[in-house]
Chain A
Amino acid sequence: MFFRAAWSLVRRKTGPGMRGTHGPGSAAHREGKMPPYTNYHAQRSYPMPDEPFCTELNAEQRALKEKEKGSWTQLSHAEKVALYRLQFHETFAEMNRRSNEWKTVMGCVFFFFGFTALMIWWQRVYVFPKKPITLTDEWKAQQLQRILDMKGNPVQGLASQWDYEKKEWKK
């Protein structure tokens, strides 16, 4: 989410008129003016911030705000939308739009998995000491034979899978 907030800030600063998501007839942004940078940040969990989105209003917008103080039935549809856009940056639908951020995240995660794997491989070749004697194959075979002789876990475990007559694992 912060990725997207930062990215939208970057997008905002890189030129006027890049507000493609606003609908037609939004009088507040028709001139291509950039709103001033404020503390405004809307989230689904904090839907009505204290400050309005646009604090610097031109004459037309100020007139609209005066009209808002009267009866709202006199406002046209376009004026209501303009007032909404003054107060709020995005509608809920726009705010909650999905993004492709997860692909970036997963890509970075997998990349670092692979990088870690390469590091560990290098360490295996150049850093790790010799294996102790108990991990050699002969020792492990003798250990297994001893466990089978003791009949360890004969009901459902290891020794139950060993066939003592034929001296091999059960099929």
Chain B
Amino acid sequence: MISSALTNPQMRGLLAKHLRFHIVGAFVISLGVAAFYKFAVAELRKKAYADFYRNYDSRKAFEEMRRAGIFQSAK
């Protein structure tokens, strides 16, 4: 008696619709997060290490540390 005035809600395919929405979303979000991590964290860190060690003089660093007095075996 009532349903002649209103349209039915969606009766079928609810799980399929839910799965499609969430599977697509999960893919997109996880790929996005992985891409973001790769560029914002991993590549940045690799570049930082490369820049640091390009012109690194370990002898000079050792002399500075020795002069600061932190070693026990080299004063």
Q: A residues within 8 Å of B by Cβ?
A: 77, 146, 149-151, 154-156, 164
Contacts and interface: CB of A to CB of B under 8 A. Distances in A.
A155 B52 contact: yes
B14 interface: no
B5 interface: no
Contact of A151 (B45, B49, B61): B61
Given A154-B52, A155-B49, A156-B45, A77 B1 contact: yes
B48 A156 contact: yes
A149 B48 contact: no
Chain B, interface residues (CB within 8 Å), range:
10 to 19
B69 A149 contact: yes
B58 to A, nearest CB: 11
A150 B69 CA distance: 9
B32 to A, nearest CB: 24
A149 B1 contact: no
A150 B45 contact: no
Which 10 pairs, one residue from A and one from B, show the smallest C-beta to C-beta distance? A149-B68, A155-B52, A149-B70, A156-B48, A150-B70, A155-B49, A155-B48, A77-B1, A149-B65, A150-B65
Contacts of B52: 154-155
A25 B72 CA distance: 95
B65 to A, nearest CB: 6
Report which residue of B49, B61, B70 has the largest number of chain A beta carbons within 10 angstroms of its beta carbon: B70
Interface in B12-57: 45, 48-49, 52
Contacts of A154: 52
B68 to A, nearest CB: 4
Nearest to A145: B68
Contacts of B49: 155
Nearest to B69: A149
